[in-house]
Structure 1
Amino acid sequence: MKNIKIYTLCIGLLLVLFSCRQNMSEEQKESFDTALLTKNDTLLSSGVYESVVHLNIEYLKKAENMEYTEGKGLCYLNIAKVNVSAGNYVKALFFFQKAEKALLNSKNGYHKALFYDTYSKYYFHLKLYDKALEYNDRAFRYVKAAKKSKFSDKLFSKLFLKKGIFLIRKRWLGAALKCYLKGNALENSAFSNSLVAEYYLSVNQLDNAGIYVSNAKERIQNHKISNTEALWVYYVMGYYYIEINNYEEAERNLNKALEVIKIEHTHFSYVAEVYQSLAELYKKMDDEDKAYYYLEKYTEEQGKTDSAQFATMNKTVDDFIAETKNESDWSRNKLPLAIALSIAAISISGVYVRKIINRLRLKKRSLKKEADELKNHVHTKQFQEVVELAKKNDSSFLLKFKELYPDFVSILLKINPDLENSELTFCAMLKLRLSSKEIADYTFVQHRSVQQKKYRIRKRLNIPAETDIYDFFDGL
């Protein structure tokens, strides 16, 4: 009987010790997660993407030593996230696939919520909004079931805001506003207030937008904010001030957004929107040069995004084809089905790619037309300014003329390097197709003197007698 009691006591002690070991193991995992996620978020918000990758490589080794599979999954997920932020969608997909194996078997609801939340952002960047919403809903489901912590609470509010962003792109405005308001009530940050402001701007409710812009302005002055969120906040404030015709404030905020964009080695979302707003701002301010410059930057940025999307689609199709080739153990009766499925998948991809290409072509044509119109407008305005300077016989005429026709003078000097400044000015007036009478009036000389100058210029530039002098200068 005594032996049985001792035996029972020993078993009990072993169970207690095993239980304590298990608890300690869970504490270690939680400590690992907290340290990794805190450091990762700090570096990511600062835009130092290379440091984010180094941090997660370091923690990958720690997770390997701890035999902590989910920890490795978090590292892969963080690397995927930084690649999405940098626009490297092909690399992001590779790390998502590695993270998926580790995290979707986790018993930690927050791990799964984080995985689906980050993946939803990937789909959003690829403009696959239905898939983004599907993964956002899955993240909601897991975060609600997860153990409460500062991380889960923060993710919960972010999920509302992200869902609002996805719904906006689907044009489901009422549902988007509800999500924005819920997220803002939980978070009440500069970013969340600017999202609500942007919604009201999109439906032309400027008074409501102004309230949330003021809230965002107050919070961005008093709280530290990530570069990614700061870019969005300054963009929305710039957009708002354009709408209420406060161009000085609009320019100030959009320039702050530009400062964020110029951070070295960093790529942000919404860059195209900032360039588009600057083009609109300078167009309203009648500064066509800057308007044209930022319209070109906007077109260039759109091209970058589209190229990244195509690269990702190509990678997906390539992976599918590679998978099919590697399946060597198919039986003969399954082979026709596999071939049919392959053809179907590639056909669907082809249709999808064609639709996107057609849409992009239309968009490119529209942007090119707008850019050409703006360029022509800029040229016309500069031309008129130069003609006005010629009429006033202004000393800055030739300088401004060179800005309008940058190669004209250098071509003349190649024909005759000994041309004097007064002769170059006279040639510039002929390039503008000013008549002899107009040149005489503007330069206060006799009509006969102008005719003599024309004759001398013909000799100096070897212009044949049968060539019209105006046609000669038009051809330069």
Structure 2
Amino acid sequence: MFPPQLNRIFYSYNLLLLFLLCCAGPAYGQGAFSHQKFDSILLKKTESLRIQGDYENLVRLNKDYLNLAEEQNYKEGIILCYINISNISATIGNYKRGLSYLSLAEKELKTVNSSVLKARLYQEHAQLNGVIGLYKSALDLNTKGLYYLKNISNQDKRKFYLYRLYANRADFLYKANKADSAYIYLQKGKRIDGQGVLLNTLLAKHHLMYTKRKDSALIYLQKASGKIVNTGKVNVQSGFVDLTYGDYYFASEDYKTALEYYSKALDYYSKTNRLYNIPGVYESIAKTYRMLNEPQKEEEAMQKYREEKTALENIQNEAINISIDHMLSDKDEESNGFQKKIYFYIGFIAILSLVIFILLYRHNRALRQKKNQFKSEALSLKSRINDSFDELVGLAKKNDSTFLTRFQEIYPKFCPRLLEINPRLGASELTFCAMIKLNFTSKEIAEYTFIQHKSVQQKKHRLRKKLNVPTEQELFIFFDSL
């Protein structure tokens, strides 16, 4: 953060800049030039402050520009500010507020035809889903972002966003255990800009984890380090680079140097409030102390890891519930749109009787194709679910925190259906329902969740009341019918 005096100077400078922009608007007739100036200055300043981790001035900057955009009725500027504020919120772990501002941007974007903003919106939405563990949703949203990039005529903007979408996609694919596909997108990003900090660090990490070529990893790390701008302030990119340097020295069995880099990474992430990254750093520190044969420090680091991981999971679970609500809302809108089309066709058929036969013929043919496609997709889905069943059972037996997230990816309609019946169900209750859905017995649930058999029976009794399940009906049968 800047000292208080510099903060005031920075704020005064922004006010002056906003005044000049306001004065420039009428001179250019509210034309494209003034809008372009608004976008370029805002993006440049936002990126600079984001890298420094100066979130206080970053929020202030975007709120000032939001006020200006609203005064000038500049819709694209309003949307851009909403997306920026969402990114800031998600970066510091406020996923709920991040989703809220993305919803505002999405609502405004329905009235604007901008491929650039649509690509940016889906990029941010994908990143937010990625940090809360919904990697399949993140990849789907990333695909939409890539689709809209095709319609961007400005090649500089296209390359700017394409590079980031490729890097994000690679990160999501790594998290989804698809390293080969991830590496393909890293290479695509490298062809656009082979000097970026994020991409070179991801390439270094790939060689450390998969090819085991430490020499190649070091080359990419040195490239990434060389591109970090030293401004004398905290640089958020340094955290990821130092964390990967720690992994490099750990793989080289230089544990003391590894510990130094892990500590530096932790310091960067703590100063920039990067909650998503902190648990993993503590886990790496604990592993390093284990190799240094310092059990007390190892346990202290593991305790911090557990505390930070639990705190992060609580935030993530709340965001997952909001994300589920958003998906349900989107489906309702799609259903309403489909109904309007039906009404239109009915009216059209009533007027043009001659066209009825042709339309019905084409409609029935398309419907048959859709049914065949649906059957094919259903068979494919059934096969994937069968392949994933053993994975889910394994996660449940280990009481793994990612069990519910993975379950929702494989059975996407199950939790939303339960929340329709009772919206107040919490993440732990959804996990309990998921285990019953997988046909775990009460005894098994008690064993794997480390609670007494009696407590499992009490939970089942409470669930019956919350879901209005008759006592004579088996819970497994009720959940299976969903």
Normalising to structure 2: TM-score of the pair? 0.61
The yes-or-no answer on 1:137 pairing with 2:211 is no
1 CA distance for matches of 2:191 and 2:327? 44
The yes-or-no answer on 1:114 pairing with 2:114 is no
Who is 2:343 aligned against? none
- Whichever residue aligns with residue 167 of structure 1, its letter is L
Q: Structure 1 residues 347, 127: CA separation in 2 closer, same or farther (over 3 Å shift)?
A: farther
Who is 1:215 aligned against? 220
- Whichever residue aligns with residue 229 of structure 2, its letter is K
Who is 2:247 aligned against? 239
The yes-or-no answer on 1:197 pairing with 2:204 is yes
Q: Give the paired residue count.
A: 326
Unaligned runs of 5+ residues in structure 1 are: 1-19, 324-340, 369-476
**CA-CA distance at 1:62 after TM superposition:** 0.7
1:260 aligned residue (268, 272, 295): 268
1 CA distance for matches of 2:428 and 2:152? 39
Alignment of 1:143-182 (within 5 A): 143-148=149-154, 150-182=156-188
**CA-CA distance at 1:21 after TM superposition:** 9.3
The answer on whether the counterparts of 1:257 and 1:274 sit within 8 Å (CA) in structure 2 is yes
- SS of equivalent residue, structure 2 residue 218: helix
2 CA distance for matches of 1:100 and 1:142? 14
2 CA distance for matches of 1:222 and 1:40? 19
Q: Structure 1 residues 343, 253: CA separation in 2 closer, same or farther (over 3 Å shift)?
A: closer
- SS of equivalent residue, structure 2 residue 165: helix
- SS of equivalent residue, structure 2 residue 31: helix
The yes-or-no answer on 1:48 pairing with 2:63 is no
Which moves more between the two structures, 124-133 or 314-323? 314-323
Normalising to structure 1: TM-score of the pair? 0.61
**CA-CA distance at 1:294 after TM superposition:** 1.2
- Whichever residue aligns with residue 205 of structure 2, its letter is E
Who is 1:294 aligned against? 301
| Cα displacement string for residues 173-195 of structure 1 (whole angstroms, at most 9, x for unaligned residues) | 21111111221332322321221
2 CA distance for matches of 1:293 and 1:21? 63
**CA-CA distance at 1:289 after TM superposition:** 2.0
Which moves more between the two structures, 299-308 or 225-234? 225-234
% of aligned pairs identical? Answer: 23
Q: Structure 1 residues 144, 268: CA separation in 2 closer, same or farther (over 3 Å shift)?
A: farther
- Whichever residue aligns with residue 227 of structure 1, its letter is N
Unaligned runs of 5+ residues in structure 2 are: 1-25, 331-414, 436-443, 451-482
1 CA distance for matches of 2:278 and 2:95? 17
**CA-CA distance at 1:120 after TM superposition:** 0.6
The answer on whether the counterparts of 1:57 and 1:75 sit within 8 Å (CA) in structure 2 is yes
The yes-or-no answer on 1:65 pairing with 2:71 is yes
The answer on whether the counterparts of 2:200 and 2:223 sit within 8 Å (CA) in structure 1 is no
| Cα displacement string for residues 60-97 of structure 1 (whole angstroms, at most 9, x for unaligned residues) | 11101211011111111111111111111111111111
The answer on whether the counterparts of 1:103 and 1:112 sit within 8 Å (CA) in structure 2 is yes
Aligned-CA RMSD value: 3.5
- Whichever residue aligns with residue 116 of structure 1, its letter is Y
The answer on whether the counterparts of 2:224 and 2:241 sit within 8 Å (CA) in structure 1 is no
Who is 1:90 aligned against? 96
Q: Structure 1 residues 353, 179: CA separation in 2 closer, same or farther (over 3 Å shift)?
A: farther
